[in-house]
Amino acid sequence: MSDHDKYPVDDRGYTATPGAAGYTDTSESFLNKARHYGTGPEFVKFGKAVRYSFAALDAWAASQRRTSTKEPEAA
């Protein structure tokens, strides 16, 4: 079983905010705010439904890597 199998996925292969929060070990509130400010993972909207691809979540997580706490945060 891959990590993706632990989170709810729709028939298109996307997960909703609760699944994305679990996958990235963040909160739904964090993702909602990050989406508002444009600092979070890429997402798609189907009508009012917000969905995340696991590829986008993985890419965002990779962009958050740091080697020091003194490094500025990524945009």
Is-contact 50 40, C-beta < 8 A? no
User: Can you give the pLDDT at residue 21?
Assistant: 96
User: Can you give the pLDDT at residue 70?
Assistant: 83
Burial of 7 (0-12, 13-18, 19+ CB in 10 A): middle
Q: What is the pTM of this model?
A: 0.81
User: Can you give the pLDDT at residue 72?
Assistant: 73
User: Can you give the pLDDT at residue 10?
Assistant: 76
Determine the Cα–Cα distance for residues 1 and 28; give it in Å rounded to an integer.
24
pLDDT along the chain (75 residues), means of 10: 66 91 96 97 96 96 89 65
User: Can you give the pLDDT at residue 12?
Assistant: 83
Rg (C-alpha) for the chain, rounded Å, is 13
Determine the Cα–Cα distance for residues 24 and 22; give it in Å rounded to an integer.
6
User: Can you give the pLDDT at residue 1?
Assistant: 40
